[in-house]
Amino acid sequence: MPGRRRRRSPEKEGGKIKKPKTVCAKKDLNTPFSSKACAAWFREYTITDENVICPDGMEKFCEDIGVEPENVIMLSLAWKLGAKSMGFFKMDEWMQGMTELQCDSVPKLQAKFDSLRSLLNDPVTFKSIYRFAFDFAREPNQRSLEVDTAKQMLALLLGGNWSLYASFHQFLELHQNGKYRVINKDQWCNILEFSRFISPDLSNYDEDGAWPVMLDEFVEWFREQQTKTS
């Protein structure tokens, strides 16, 4: 989840997150799920309100599970919990999501990391998480997403699998102090469809299609850049 304070990166072995080694970890994985233990685990991260984990508590939670807030695992977990706002987990969200995951401790959640990552491999689930990310990341009472936050979310979700991502990011950078300071939900959803169905050379892009003006202007800008470099 982007937008958190930077922290020292956890130790890594072979490029992978080094999981804390505890004597009771294996035993913990074999114990039945306990709602009482799950609630007690939640309250380890509450500070002023015992029913809400706030950003400071979230930072400690991320440290305990060995994952950076910006890791896609945290976005997948937030989606599983049905969290309403980035940086906050409410007790009811936690209990519903962790019960579904059958997680009441750090080791049990760490054992789910691969399955949380793999959620993004399914096109239908990916689309659901992508759409969830817009409402999750936008500021309360705002209808649109600040472009800086949108860029971070797009990097997380599309940066590794959309060949035109770098160009689109550059396009947003050029316009973020002018026309595109925010991204609305229609634009957000259409960026995903564009990344899925428009070829890297834009040969199948229909200028008379129902794309948002933002994407029309991106295509025009991209083609101009291609002409300059050819």
User: pLDDT digit string (tens) for 145-203?
Assistant: 999 999 999 999 999 999 999 999 999 999 877 789 999 999 999 999 999 999 999 99
- 113 in the same domain as 52: yes
Higher-pLDDT residue of 191, 2: 191
Residue at 20 is within a domain: no
Tokens of 159: 């940066």
* Three-class HEC string of 71-95: CHHHHHHHHHHCCCCCCCEEHHHHH
- 221 in the same domain as 127: yes
Per the prediction, the chain carries an average pLDDT of 89
**Of 36, 163, 43, 32, which Cα lies nearest the Cα of 102?**
32
State which residues form the domain around 81: 35-119
- 90 in the same domain as 154: no
Residue at 28 is within a domain: no
- 149 in the same domain as 93: no
**Cβ-proximal residues to 86 (8 Å cutoff; 6+ apart), any chain:** 1, 2, 3, 78, 136, 137
Domain-ending residue, one of 91, 119, 147: 119
CB 88 within 8 A of CB 58: yes
Residue at 45 is within a domain: yes
Spatial distance between the Cα atoms of 161 and 164, rounded to a whole number of angstroms: 9
- 136 in the same domain as 102: no
Domain-ending residue, one of 64, 94, 119: 119
CATH of the domain at 206: 1.10.238.200
Residue at 8 is within a domain: no
pLDDT at 230: 65
- 107 in the same domain as 133: no
CB 142 within 8 A of CB 134: no
- 183 in the same domain as 171: yes
- 60 in the same domain as 42: yes
CATH of the domain at 114: 1.10.238.10
* Three-class HEC string of 144-163: CEEHHHHHHHHHHHHCCCCC
**Of 112, 3, 80, 89, which Cα lies nearest the Cα of 42?**
89
Compute CA 51 distance to the chain's CA centroid, rounded to the nearest angstrom. 23
- 113 in the same domain as 136: no
Residue at 62 is within a domain: yes
- 59 in the same domain as 95: yes
Using CB atoms within 10 A of its CB, is residue 217 exposed (0-12), middle (13-18) or buried (19+)?
middle
Domain-ending residue, one of 70, 103, 119: 119
Q: What is residue 120's DSSP assignment?
A: G
pLDDT band of 11, cuts 50, 70, 90:
very low
- 210 in the same domain as 163: yes
Residue at 29 is within a domain: no
pLDDT at 15: 35
pLDDT at 14: 34
Residue at 49 is within a domain: yes
User: Tens digits of per-residue pLDDT, 81-116?
Assistant: 999 999 999 999 999 999 999 999 999 999 999 999
pLDDT exceeds cutoff 90 at 208: no
SS3 content of the chain, % helix, strand, coil (to 5): 55, 5, 40
Residue at 219 is within a domain: yes
Counting the structural domains of the chain, the total is 2
- 157 in the same domain as 137: yes
